[in-house]
């Protein structure tokens, strides 16, 4: 009986264009957009060419330093700032006419770098120009110290060598945020229309009364409907994961470099699938309660909106926590543990204890929420229109 | 067949309490067709829902075919068919056949039984041409036929109709009336609520009139006509309501 209801609900749901749109098409579009956005975010700009407007007074050392960068195009102009304002250059570098003489004489001199630091490309260019100017500055300082008979090591007593704890590509941190964020939103958004339709929709169309008039007990109805929502959530989650991974490998360079599945691909994929199923079950239970509480589809969707946006909070919490700082508590809090487990998996860590904690805590919450849903579904006021 | 004893139904929440039914008692014999009359909000749908085991009476008992609605709802559900409103209770994205097959499976019919039953019903209602089309594109009349077929898919002995012809055109209403005649010939027990007096006088053996949750009259149409001295059911209904209101006022 349960299987009959489940099969009918799945057929009915997938004949709904909204389900198809939100389960398959939306994840692909959303994932593509986010993957490309993140790829752009982590890009070092080495493939781009940036236009820099300079005046005639630019020192030859600075010119050669900028040319050595390889992706800076220099445009000489009497008014470099004007070129930036007209959009013909991303940044402008101007020097005092007496700049070289003043530097040679050891007098104070000034270089002016103009650009819009809110523009990502202008910001990258300004950083590169600052690097070249700093190098030029260091050369001048070294020459002056040498002329004064002072060793350079006097002002540079030691070198700071900063190392990353993990040997992984640092972009993996972005992937560790990107994948669970996309996954959790996609599961919520994908399962939401079916959830609203399966309870509130049935009440609105009065099919619920016809269903309740059959000898099928309410627990079977509830379970089959919950299973449908959880299955649609899982399908959305799996499609999302597959699309994200495929797009990272096919459309990106930097993110692809960060995502390495070669060492323990099978356990990482298995754990990611388990996490997807767990989160889909958890979300399905909350969406089910929202739908039982709603008298109409519209009302149920209003109640469900916070459920679909629930992943924003763990994202804010987890962003500043390193993978080595994660404790058992982080794996016991539903929704947050989707982020923590996927963060570990992104770093190639498969910790069975953490996975069990995540699965156990989610299952416990699913059972508690399901009992709440069952109590509601057995009461006439929640099921009758 | 149906015994209703001292049934009271209260709907309560934290702030308000509404008594929808007040000490209703009457019985319906096998093969009878009962018309349930009353204004909007009189308690007709609440009474039908209580008989159908969809809601529980606050006080009193209802037995259907010897089964108590509170203790044996599953047994009652197998013997009863309910249609609330003329065209409701269908899945628009499924075909008419898929709707019928689904409900047949919920009533535990085998594949063979389902096929035979769908063949019979589609022949009875002339639905063969659109049996494999999605219900979403159907006219009101077509939907009503499918909804009635769904109600009858498990061949129930007792059938409850809640305002089945409301919003339907004359042709669709006539289809319903012909169906009731046929079900009567088959010996089914039928209760239906209606606002249309002509329909009730045409189809029913007895009437139950409910006013503000109370049963103001129950008996055969013949007895009613004789006692009131007229066959104008509309007039009788209105005068009963007026008398009921005077009774409340006093």
Same domain, A18 and A128: no
Same domain, A117 and A254: no
In this complex, the residue of A15, A214, A380 whose CB is nearest that of residue B107 is: A214
Contact list, A1 vs chain B (CB under 8 Å): 105-106, 108
Q: Per-residue pLDDT tens for A326-385?
A: 899 999 998 888 889 988 888 888 889 999 999 999 999 999 999 999 999 998 888 876
Residue B246 pLDDT: 61
> Which of A154, A180, A201 is at the close of a domain?
A154
Residue A136 pLDDT: 93
DSSP chain B: -EEEEEEEEEEE-SS-EEEEEEEEEEEE-TT-EEEEE--TTSSHHHHHHHHTTSS--SEEEEEETTEETTT-HHHHHHHEEEEESSS-S--TTSBHHHHHHHHHHHTT--HHHHHHHHHHHHHHHT-GGGTTSBGGG--HHHHHHHHHHHHHTT--SEEEEESTTTT--HHHHHHHHHHHHHHHHTT-EEEEEES-HHHHHHH-SEEEEEETTEEEEEEEHHHHHHHHT---HHHHHHHHHHHHHHHHH-
CATH number, domain of A84, equals: 3.40.190.10
A207 inside 8 A of chain B by CB: yes
B204 inside 8 A of chain A by CB: no
Spatial separation of the C-alpha atoms in residues B52 and B82, rounded to whole Å: 7
Report the candidate in A212, A163, A17, A119 with the shortest Cα–Cα distance to residue B74. Answer: A212
Spatial separation of the C-alpha atoms in residues B56 and B49, rounded to whole Å: 9
Residue A94: inside a domain:
yes
A379 inside 8 A of chain B by CB: no
Spatial separation of the C-alpha atoms in residues B87 and A69, rounded to whole Å: 75
Contact list, B91 vs chain A (CB under 8 Å): 12, 205, 207
B18 inside 8 A of chain A by CB: no
B106·A216 Cβ contact <8 A: yes
Same domain, A129 and A196: no
A206·B52 Cβ contact <8 A: no
Residue A160: inside a domain:
no
Residue A168 pLDDT: 61
Same domain, A247 and A338: yes
Say which residue the tokens 């009758």 belong to. Answer: A384
Same domain, A342 and A225: yes
A378 inside 8 A of chain B by CB: no
Say which residue the tokens 């323990």 belong to. Answer: A264
Q: Per-residue pLDDT tens for A128-139?
A: 999 999 999 988
Contact list, A217 vs chain B (CB under 8 Å): 74
B54 inside 8 A of chain A by CB: yes
What are the extents of the domains in chain B? 2-220
pLDDT band for position A265 (cuts 50, 70, 90): confident
For A:15-54, CB contacts with B below 8 A are: 15-16
A384 inside 8 A of chain B by CB: yes
Same domain, A212 and A351: yes
- Residue B71 neighbours by CB under 8 Å, 6+ apart: none
Report the candidate in B195, B189, B158 with the shortest Cα–Cα distance to residue B44. Answer: B195
Spatial separation of the C-alpha atoms in residues B28 and B239, rounded to whole Å: 24
Same domain, A344 and A252: yes
* Distance from the A231 Cα atom to the nearest Cα atom in chain B, whole angstroms: 19
Same domain, A24 and A89: no
Determine the residue among A12, A207, A214 to mutate to test chain B binding: the one whose Cβ has the most chain B Cβ atoms within 10 Å.
A214
pTM of the model: 0.80
Residue A32 burial by Cβ neighbours in a 10 Å radius (0-12, 13-18, 19+): middle
8 A C-beta contact, residue B10 and residue B1: no
The SS3 of residue A174 is helix
Residue A288 pLDDT: 96
Report the number of distinct structural domains present in chain A.
2
Residue B36: beta bridge partners? Answer: B193, B208
The fold of B2-220 is Rossmann fold (3.40.50)
Residue B236 pLDDT: 86
> Which of A154, A184, A215 is at the close of a domain?
A154
Report the candidate in A262, A254, A251, A279 with the shortest Cα–Cα distance to residue A342. Answer: A279
Residue A283 pLDDT: 93
Same domain, A289 and A379: yes
Residue B99 pLDDT: 95
* Distance from the A198 Cα atom to the nearest Cα atom in chain B, whole angstroms: 11
A8 inside 8 A of chain B by CB: yes
B85 inside 8 A of chain A by CB: yes
In this complex, the residue of B77, B94, B105 whose CB is nearest that of residue A12 is: B94
Spatial separation of the C-alpha atoms in residues A379 and B55, rounded to whole Å: 9
Contact list, B74 vs chain A (CB under 8 Å): 215, 217
Contact list, B81 vs chain A (CB under 8 Å): 213
Q: Per-residue pLDDT tens for A114-156?
A: 999 888 889 989 999 999 999 999 889 888 888 888 887 777 7
Q: What is the pLDDT along chain B (250 residues), one digit of tens a residue?
A: 899 999 999 988 777 888 999 999 999 999 999 999 988 888 998 999 999 998 889 999 999 999 999 999 989 999 999 988 655 789 999 999 999 999 999 999 999 999 999 999 998 888 899 999 999 999 888 888 899 899 999 999 999 998 888 777 787 788 788 888 989 999 999 998 988 888 888 889 999 999 889 998 898 988 888 888 888 888 888 887 766 666 555 5
Contact list, A11 vs chain B (CB under 8 Å): 94, 98
Length of chain A equals 385
Same domain, A173 and A27: yes
8 A C-beta contact, residue A100 and residue A61: no
Same domain, A305 and A360: yes
- The chain A residue lying nearest B81, using CA atoms, is A213
Higher pLDDT pick, A96 / A225: A225
Residue A170 pLDDT: 64
Residue A44 pLDDT: 63
Phi, psi of A155 (to 5 degrees): -100, 0
Same domain, A101 and A34: no
> Which of A95, A127, A154 is at the close of a domain?
A154
pLDDT band for position A262 (cuts 50, 70, 90): low
- The chain A residue lying nearest B46, using CA atoms, is A384
B107 inside 8 A of chain A by CB: yes
A209 inside 8 A of chain B by CB: yes
Across the A:B interface, residue pairs with CB atoms under 8 Å apart total 69
* Distance from the A385 Cα atom to the nearest Cα atom in chain B, whole angstroms: 12
Q: What is the mean pLDDT of residues A75-86?
A: 92
A4·B105 Cβ contact <8 A: yes
Residue B69 pLDDT: 93
Higher pLDDT pick, A44 / A304: A304
Range of the domain at A186: 2-42+168-383
Residue A101: inside a domain:
yes
ipTM for the predicted complex comes to: 0.85
Q: Rounded mean pLDDT of chain B?
A: 88
Q: Per-residue pLDDT tens for A25-76?
A: 877 887 788 888 888 777 766 667 899 999 988 999 999 999 998 889 999 9
A380 inside 8 A of chain B by CB: yes
Determine the residue among B73, B89, B154, B156 to mutate to test chain A binding: the one whose Cβ has the most chain A Cβ atoms within 10 Å.
B89
Residue A278, pLDDT above cutoff 70: yes
| Separation in Å, CA B121 to CA A335, A352, B84, B105, B207 | 51, 58, 19, 16, 28
* Distance from the A362 Cα atom to the nearest Cα atom in chain B, whole angstroms: 32
């Amino acid at each position: 009986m349960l299987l009959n209801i489940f099969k009918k609900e799945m057929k009915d749901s997938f004949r709904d264009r909204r389900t198809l749109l939100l389960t398959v098409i939306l994840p692909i579009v959303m994932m593509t957009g986010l993957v490309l956005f993140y790829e752009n975010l982590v890009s070092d700009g080495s493939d781009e060419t940036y236009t820099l407007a300079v005046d005639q007074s630019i020192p030859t050392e600075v010119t050669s330093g900028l040319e050595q960068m390889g992706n800076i195009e220099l445009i000489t102009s009497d008014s470099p700032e004007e070129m930036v304002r007209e959009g013909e250059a991303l940044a402008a570098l101007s020097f005092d006419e007496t700049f070289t003489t003043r530097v040679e004489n050891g007098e104070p001199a000034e270089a002016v770098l103009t650009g819009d630091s809110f523009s990502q490309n202008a910001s990258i260019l300004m950083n590169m120009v600052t690097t070249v100017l700093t190098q030029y500055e260091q050369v001048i300082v070294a020459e002056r110290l040498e002329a004064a008979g002072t060793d350079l090591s006097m002002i540079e007593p030691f070198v700071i060598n900063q190392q990353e704890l993990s040997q992984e590509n640092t972009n993996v941190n972005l992937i560790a945020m990107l994948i669970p964020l996309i996954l959790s939103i996609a599961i919520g958004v994908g399962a939401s229309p079916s959830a609203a339709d399966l309870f509130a929709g049935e009440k609105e169309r009065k099919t619920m009364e016809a269903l309740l008039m059959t000898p099928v007990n309410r627990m079977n109805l509830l379970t089959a409907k919950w299973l449908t929502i959880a299955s649609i959530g899982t399908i959305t989650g799996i499609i999302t994961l597959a699309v994200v991974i495929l797009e990272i490998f096919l459309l990106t360079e930097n993110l692809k470099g960060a995502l390495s599945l070669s060492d323990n691909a099978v356990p990482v994929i298995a754990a990611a699938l388990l996490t997807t199923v767990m989160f889909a079950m958890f979300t399905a239970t909350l969406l089910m309660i929202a739908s039982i509480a709603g008298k109409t589809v519209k009302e149920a969707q209003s109640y469900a909106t916070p459920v679909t946006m629930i992943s924003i909070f763990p994202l804010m919490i987890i962003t500043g926590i390193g993978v080595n700082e994660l404790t058992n508590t982080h794996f016991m809090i539903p929704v947050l543990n989707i982020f923590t487990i996927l963060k570990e998996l992104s770093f190639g860590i498969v910790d069975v204890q953490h996975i069990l904690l995540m699965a156990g805590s989610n299952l416990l919450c699913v059972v508690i929420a399901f009992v709440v849903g069952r109590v509601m579904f057995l009461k006439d006021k929640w099921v009758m229109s | 067949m149906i015994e209703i004893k001292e049934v009271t139904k209260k709907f309560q929440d934290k702030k308000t309490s509404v008594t929808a039914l007040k000490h209703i008692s009457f019985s319906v014999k096998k093969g009878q067709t009962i018309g349930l009359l009353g204004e909007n909000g009189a308690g007709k749908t609440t009474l039908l829902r209580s008989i159908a085991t969809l809601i529980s009476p606050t006080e009193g008992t209802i037995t259907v075919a010897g089964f108590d609605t509170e203790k044996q709802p599953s047994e009652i559900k197998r013997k009863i068919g309910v249609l609330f409103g003329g065209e409701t209770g269908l899945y628009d994205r499924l075909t008419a056949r898929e709707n019928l097959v689904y409900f047949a499976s919920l009533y535990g019919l085998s594949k063979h039984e389902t096929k035979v039953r769908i063949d019979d019903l589609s022949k009875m209602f002339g639905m063969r041409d659109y049996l494999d089309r999605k219900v979403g594109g159907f006219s009101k009349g077509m939907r009503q036929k499918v909804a009635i077929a769904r109600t009858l898919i498990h061949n129930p002995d007792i059938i409850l109709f809640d305002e089945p012809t409301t919003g339907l055109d004359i042709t669709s209403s006539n289809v319903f009336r012909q169906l009731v005649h046929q079900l009567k010939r088959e010996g089914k027990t039928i209760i239906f609520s209606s606002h249309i007096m002509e329909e009730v006088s045409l189809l029913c053996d007895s009437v139950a009139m409910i006013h503000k949750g109370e049963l103001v009259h129950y008996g055969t149409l013949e007895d009613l006509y004789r006692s009131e001295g007229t066959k104008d059911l509309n007039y009788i209904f209105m005068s009963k309501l007026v008398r009921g209101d005077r009774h409340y006022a006093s």
